[in-house]
Amino acid sequence: MLIRPETPANIDVIHDLTQAAFAPKAFSDGTEGPIINAMRDAGDLTLSLVAEDAGTIIGHVAFSPAHISEAAGDWYGLGPISVREDRQGQGIGRALIEAGIATLAEQGAAGCVLTGNPNIYQRIGFRSDGNLHHAGTEDRHVHWRLINGAAPKGQLRFAPALDAA
């Protein structure tokens, strides 16, 4: 498996993969693919990585700028992340996240934030301590992973396309 940055030729594949991966999820509203396109169109898609196996894209992760009211440094929101349904549970998502965080670390990022299931994201180094808040989200579902500096606290805002979702 190869993890690499997206290319223009991958845009439609990423959209379709994301829509298919989220379609069976009860929490999905079907906007995940369009969110990635909206972030790309707005210039907010800081990092977009694909997982490729035998020439076929089987996973994708997006990172975009995030703002935390009382945190220093550059923070990035993780998501959406998707893996082809028949390849889920094989560590592809984790590999995409780790590759993205390593790239952000090389660029001097302070950390990465997301909203999601604590049972999933705490297993891969994300924390939720009640000091980070996102409008309309229970604090236990707001997670962060430190790269450089101090743990974040305050109000979190994602890129507009993510916050509008």
Q: What CATH code is carried by the domain that includes residue 67?
A: 3.40.630.30
Q: List Cβ neighbours of 22 (8 Å cut-off, separation of 6 or more).
A: 28, 30, 32, 33, 80, 82
Structural domain count of the chain: 1
Q: What is the model's pTM? A: 0.94
d(CA 103, CA 94): 14
pLDDT at 165: 67
Q: Is the pLDDT of residue 42 over 80?
A: yes
Residue 100 pLDDT level (bands cut at 50, 70, 90)? very high
Range of the domain at 71: 2-163
